[in-house]
Structure 1
Amino acid sequence: MNQPLLDYLVEHEPAFRKARLPALYSDFQPQRTLNPDGYQANVSAWRCGLARLVRDGLAPAPRAARPNLLVLHADEPLLRALETKQYGRPLALGAVVREAVAAGDLVPLGPFLTAAESIYRRGGGWSVWNLAGWAMRQLGVADLLLVRRDGVPGGQFVVVGNVEEAGRVFGDGLVDGAPRSRFERTFSRASFCSAFDDRLVEGRRLSEVDMEVLLRFLARDKGVVVYDGDVVRIKNPAVPEPDAITEEDVSIGQLKELLTSLTHQTALLGKRIEELAATAKQAVGKNNRVAALAALRSKKLAESTLGRRFATVAQLEEVAAKIEQAADNVQLVKVMESSGEALRSLHAQVGGAERVEEVVDRLREQMSAVDEVGSILAESAGTVVVDDAEIDDELAELEGDERRKVEEADKARREAQEAREAEEVRKRLEAIEGPPAVVQPEGGEHEDGEKGPGAVEDMMSRMTLEESPSRPAA
């Protein structure tokens, strides 16, 4: 029993709410006629749940190096994995698988790999399953499937939704950084797997079966690669290329695979040399001369092998560069040839230089005729010819008047500003000097009995700077 598998569905699939689990684990096959909406809702929930378990590598599968992410194994281990103490086994899982096959969401692995036509077209290798499912439902024969309520049709089924998602990720990667030359776009199957198996499903790597399914899908159903079982060439829509793998593609694929293998060997040899050097150093430290000599001898042989591997890699890289250059030259010649054909076609449409001269002459004649007609119409309408010099003089006069108005306004503002400033200065001086003295007649007094200016001057004349004689001391 595998309770965590159901817990995973409850956590990640909205349709697997705890309140719905009794219905999902029940035998809801009779609802196909009694409650079609409820039946389809349960089937849809299980389809999404199974697809997620497969995509996340949690669905049971035969022992393999990696779990399948695109292929569902519908058999007894799947039922046991979904069985729980509380709900038991999902009793209608077999009906869910059959419905998914009939709808094309699941395709048997064998027909998928051998079908010659696209799974999106009628008549493909999988359409027999659709037709059989439709006929069984129409004739009521599907009711016989209720006999084995907890059984599932054993076999392996391609989860089409998962394959389509991986294909979409592959296509997006080509748009973002597609290899351009034919050499870069050609792989052996092994090198293609090592290059893309960890880039199509986030956090997981595709198995061998998954990669075969994906390559068939990309080649047959999407048409983005050419694949013959051994060599893969990514198509470039902008470049006309053969629709089948050629001898050049096979050579490029083998060369790239050999380069990959030799590069891996050089890495292993380099690591081996480092280990032997460390072993020799340890043996010397322990005064073990025999072990040190053996390690050094092995190290020398590994270094010799590594040198030969590096020489081979360099030679193969040179060959690869020449092949890539030759492929680019072929493409360049094709582009130049197509460009020449395009220019020839366009030149033929133009009709040559003589036709162009004839067209230009006719155009000039028609333009002259238009000007002549315009002149005649202007004379007949009594149109007055305007002298541009007079217009310029009038414009200059208007501009001069405007400038004078602006200057007079500026002058008035300056004079007003200077008047304000002078008034402020006068007020400040008056505040410093005090009020002015009032002039009175000489020798007279004011009406209020104060002395006039004459009395003041008389008093000033009698004042002296000498000190008055002091009184005798008493």
Structure 2
Amino acid sequence: MSSRATTPHSSPYRQTTASAIAVPPFISASKFRLQSLYSDFSGQKTANHALYHSNVDWWRRTLEAYVYEGHQGSNRLVLNADKQFVHNFTVSGVGKPSGLDTVFVSFQIPASLYTFDIVPVLVKADLSSPSHLSSSDPLPTLMSLGTFLSLAASLYAPQSKAYLTAIPSLFLSYVVAKPLWWALESAGVVGEDSLASSISSTFSSFRSAPSKVDTRWYGDYVLLHLVEQAAEAVLEKQMAKSTGPADSLYSFDSFRKEFAECIMHPREDESPLMSEIDMKVILRYLERDKGAVVVEDEIVKFSEDGQHEITAVDRGILELKSAVENLQAQIEGIQRKIDAYTAKASEALKQQRKTIALSHLRSRKPLEDLLSKRLGALANLEGTLIQVEGAAGDIEILNSYKASTVTLRSILSHPSLQRDTIDETMDAMAEANADAKEIDDKVRIGGDVAVGISNIDDDELEEELKQLVAESEREKEHQQEQRSIESKLRDIPGVPSHTVSDTNHERVLIAS
């Protein structure tokens, strides 16, 4: 067995310090763990549910990384399961994975339809009716490319899961026959010493090692989780850049270039261009499952405001947009040639080769004239495109005005908003308010009479109120006078606390 599975798409193997074995860069596990992962662990479905679930989850994450990081080639959403795929996962000291058939079968069944009981739900459920399916159920990890592209209903609609009704023989082999056989064998119903040993030949292909490699699971599979992520990235980028009708229109080629980074992170030896298969998958998902685009005659339109058709105006705008992009590419190419001739002329002058330098300058002159013409044409096309986009925008604005006017007139034509109806309603409201006031007055007067309160004279109340106010004012003035007297008393000097001497007394007498 070779110690390295070299392919034109895979990176050199790395050495793991824990296991000292060479493994591909998309594999992260010890040698002991790989031995379990690479074995046929289908029997653990009932014997050890935790181990089975852990192995399946590891394979899910590994296969997604294998595809997303480009280890299989240019496709970033579709897994190519074939002989080369198995060879890429070969690990020295461990060998090739032998349980991939179980992995691929489990990946194609939604979690809501499969349990780890002895008998799968597929045996119990009536798959001809989608009533047991929910639109919120998680999608399966994988779906065959042909099934994905041919489905008419959305993946999130219950009726779209009807593809499970046509269960292929591979599904029946691994999700019905095997678990059923293990259950019967554990119960002693079948086996070498059982009375039913005569039927064991029916399942012998599942109990013994196959004589040749089972390739029924080979094929192209869409990784639905990666598709969902890529679609969200595409919609976010489109929302950020959309400013006019031209920004929502793409040809297949321009779409592959514009949104390649939403699906892939190209390596140095890889061009940043979305593969055709990935483009078909992402457009099918955006159109059928998201309702975000319309695809027709190799034209892609991001639908806005519920517009689900490509009009003649759209085609004209896309033609202008494509012409502008082509001219821009031509201008960039011409500029690169001019720069190259300039560099060659400079290098020739450094070497004192004036004749060659002059020749390069002469060759550059026609390119400069062509560049000037192309720049003029580009300016004209860009101006025309802006005018067309403006006119298209004006049409949308006028249509909005028209729709708003129709809506307003429809509301105003309602019988409740007619002048006679409004007058009748307002008169009825005034009468109702008057009746309510009259009833309130009667109830209030009746209550006063009931408790012995006579009619109150408003003039008398007013006079009493004036007296209370005057009394309050007099009280305030009295308090202010008291405060003034107290202040003056505080300013008078106090009586001396000591006895006045006789000398001083005599002086006072003499002075008097």
TM bracket (short chain): 0.7 to 0.9
Residue 395 of structure 2: which of 309, 312, 330 is its match? 330
> Is residue 2:145 matched to residue 1:79?
no
Tell me the distance in 2 between the aligned counterparts of 1:118 and 1:9.
Answer: 32
* Equivalent position amino acid for 1:42 in 2: N
Q: What displacement does 1:240 show?
A: 3.8
Alignment partners' CA distance in 2, 1:125 and 1:304? 63
What CA distance in whole angstroms lies between the structure 1 residues aligned with 2:333 and 2:103? 50
Residue in structure 2 matching 1:31, options 44, 47, 60:
44
* SS of equivalent residue, structure 1 residue 333: helix
C-alpha RMSD over aligned residues: 4.1
Give the secondary structure class of the aligned counterpart of 1:263. helix
Structure 2 counterpart of 1:44: 57
The reply to whether residue 246 of structure 1 matches residue 311 of structure 2 is yes
The Cα of 1:123 is off from its aligned counterpart by 5.5
Q: Match for residue 207 of structure 1?
A: 274
Question: Which residue number corresponds to residue 346 of structure 1?
Answer: 411
How far is 1:45 from its partner? 2.2
The SS at the match of 1:198 is helix
Contact 2:153 2:288 in 1 (8 A): yes
Does the CA contact (< 8 Å) of 1:91 and 1:149 recur in 2? no
- Whichever of the two has the greater Rg, that structure is 1
Write the mapping of 1:66-215 to structure 2, written as runs, cut at 5 A. 67-103=74-110, 104-121=140-157, 122=159, 127=164, 130=167, 132=169, 134-136=171-173, 137-140=175-178, 144=205, 147=210, 153-173=217-237, 177=240, 179-200=242-263, 207-208=274-275, 209-215=277-283
The code of the aligned residue for 2:35 comes to P
Give the alignment's TM-score, normalised by structure 2. 0.68
TM-score, normalised by the number of residues in structure 1: 0.73
Equivalent pair of 2:27/2:62 in contact (CA under 8 Å): no
1:132-158: CA deviation from partner (whole Å, max 9, x where unpaired): 555443355898466278655332211
**Are residues 1:280 and 2:316 paired?**
no
Q: How far apart are the structure 2 equivalents of 1:414 and 1:169?
A: 88
Return 5+ residue gaps in structure 2 as ranges: 6-12, 15-21, 111-139, 179-201, 449-453, 504-512
Quote the residue 1:218 is aligned against: 286
Distance (Å, rounded) in 1 between the aligned partners of 2:243 and 2:481:
72
Counterpart of 1:429 in structure 2 is none
CA distance in 2, matches of 1:101, 1:368: 74
What percentage of residue pairs aligned between the two structures are identical? 24
* Unaligned 5+ runs, structure 1: 62-66, 427-434, 441-474
| Greater alpha carbon shift after TM alignment, 339-348 vs 290-299 | 290-299
Residue 268 of structure 1 and its aligned partner are, at CA, apart by 2.5
> Equivalent residue of 2:341, what SS?
helix
Report the count of equivalent residues. Answer: 414
1:235 aligns with 2:327: no
Q: Whole-Å Cα distance in 1 between the matches of residues 35 and 477 of structure 2?
A: 94
Structure 1 CA distance for aligned equivalents of residues 329 and 467 of structure 2: 89
Q: Describe the shift of the 1:50–1:352 C-alpha distance in structure 2 as closer, same or farther (beyond 3 A).
A: same
Deviation at 1:234, TM superposition (A): 1.0
Once the two structures are TM-superposed, the CA of residue 363 in structure 1 deviates from its matched residue by 1.4
**Shift in Å at residue 102 of structure 1?**
4.4
Alpha-carbon shift at residue 312 of structure 1 (Å): 1.7
Show CA shifts across 1:171-209 (max 9, x none).
34456x362533321222222222221135578856312
**Following the alignment from structure 2 to structure 1, what is the Cα–Cα distance between the partners of residues 170 and 486?**
102
Q: Shift in Å at residue 355 of structure 1?
A: 1.8
Mapped partners of 1:276, 1:126: distance in 2: 61
Where 1:312 maps in the other structure, the secondary structure is helix
SS at match of 2:94: coil
Rounded Cα–Cα distance in structure 2 between residues aligned with 1:149 and 1:389: 118
